[in-house]
Amino acid sequence: MTPVSSKQYADDVSLLMVLIDTNPLFWSSTTTPFSFSKFLSQVLSFLNSILLLNQLNQVVVIATGFNSCDYIYDSSLGHANQRAEALLQKLEEFVIKDEELNKEDSVDGIGSSLLSGSLSMALCYIQRVFRSGSLHPQPRILCLHGSQDGPGQYVAIMNSIFSAQRSMVPIDSCVIGSQHSAFLQQASYITGGVYLKPQQLDGMFQYLTTVFATDLHSRSFLQLPKPVGVDFRASCFCHKNTIDMGYICSVCLSIFCKHHKKCSTCG
């Protein structure tokens, strides 16, 4: 006998958390192949297409700034029309606020965005959805990231990755910068998401819809990009440098680049 309430949501209902990199240092640098506005227009179309696919789909956008991060759009709150306007307005407010924070105290990691913060925010949101009731869409996280990794965030990011893995939330990553991101490679590898560094950024929308619009149910029978190689290097806890070889505390597994007599983490 099957219980009546066994399955009331279709397989492809998804909750997509999109993390957008708004780091001004990245977007203003000359190596960036295309402008922020062009990028945004493609992402907006992508969000529209996700919401088009199913009336129960939900999209939440989190801006990953230089000093802070914040929710800038939640499709469950607003009306269907003026989606783009609402998002852009919130985004502008966010960017201004982010810039103000910068004047007060500058962060040591130059040129990296606060990915760990936005990942944790996304996971918090997902946890809230999980707890809201037995009926919930299938969540996944998509990182649209450009700026380079900040080794200082290593521990925080790894912690978010493991908690995503525990709650079975895949982290997809689409790297728009010129270099591969070791953090995101690991994130996608560990959580079973897709890691992609598009070759031609002009066709961003096509990449997004072809690869990242795939719901979790369909992923089991579609060809998706496979990881070529994952950079598993860790950062040391003492100087936040990325290292190939180092020392590990036998008790708490903290990583150090130099030999210490006493572990600074567990003592």
Partner 1 sequence: MPQVRIIAKNFMDMVASLPAIKLDRLYENAFICEAILRSLPPLAKKYVLQLLYIDAPVTASSLQEWVLVDGASKHRVAVDRLIQLRVFTETVDRKKEASYKLNSMFQMNLRKHIVHGGVLPREPMAANITVRLPSLEELDSYASQQWECFLLHLINSAEVEVTTKSISPSMMKVFQRGLLSQRDNEGPRLTESGFQFLLMDTNAQLWYIVREYISNSEDRGVDSADLISFLLELSFHVTGEAYNMNTLSDIQRTTVKDLADLGLIKLQQGRKDSWFIPTKLATNLSISLSDASSRKQGYVVVETNFRLYAYSTSKLHCEILRLFARVEYQLPNLIVGSITKENLYKAFSNGITADQASIILFLQQNAHPRVAERVPSVPENVTDQVRLWESDLNRVEMTPAHFFDDFPSRDVFEAACDFAREYSSLLWEDSKKMRLIVKTEIYAHMKDFLSHQK
The site for partner 1 (CB under 8 A) is made up of 1, 4-5, 7-13, 44-45, 48-49, 51-56, 79-84, 135, 205-206, 209-210, 213-215, 217-218, 220-223
For every residue of 147-181, DSSP letters joined together read SPP-GGGHHHHHHHHHHHHHTT--EEEEE-SSS--
Q: How many CB atoms lie within 10 A of CB 228?
A: 9
Quote the least distance from Cβ 180 to partner 1, whole Å: 25
Between 41 and 102, name the residue whose CB sits nearer to partner 1. 41
CB 4, min distance to partner 1, A: 6
Those residues with Cβ within 8 angstroms of residue 8's Cβ, 6 or more apart along the chain or in another chain: 135
Quote the CA–CA distance of 165 and 140 in Å, as a whole number.
Answer: 11
CB of 16 to partner 1, least distance (A): 14
Torsion of CA 194, 29, 35, 106, to 10 degrees: 80
Distance of closest approach, residue 155 Cβ to partner 1, in angstroms: 37
Distance CA(168)–CA(154), nearest Å, equals 21
Closer to partner 1 at the Cβ: 125 or 207?
Answer: 207
Q: Rounded to the nearest whole angstrom, what is the least distance from the CB of residue 44 to partner 1 in the complex? A: 8
Residue among 214 and 241 whose Cβ is closer to partner 1: 214
Residue 9 or residue 130: which is nearer to partner 1 going by CB?
Answer: 9
The two tokens of residue 60 are: 């939440």
For residues 161 and 120, what is the distance between their CA atoms, to the nearest angstrom?
A: 9
Q: Rounded to whole angstroms, how far apart are CA atoms 220 and 223?
A: 9
- 249 close to 256: Cβ distance less than 8 angstroms: yes
Residue 51 Cβ vs partner 1, minimum distance, rounded to whole Å:
7
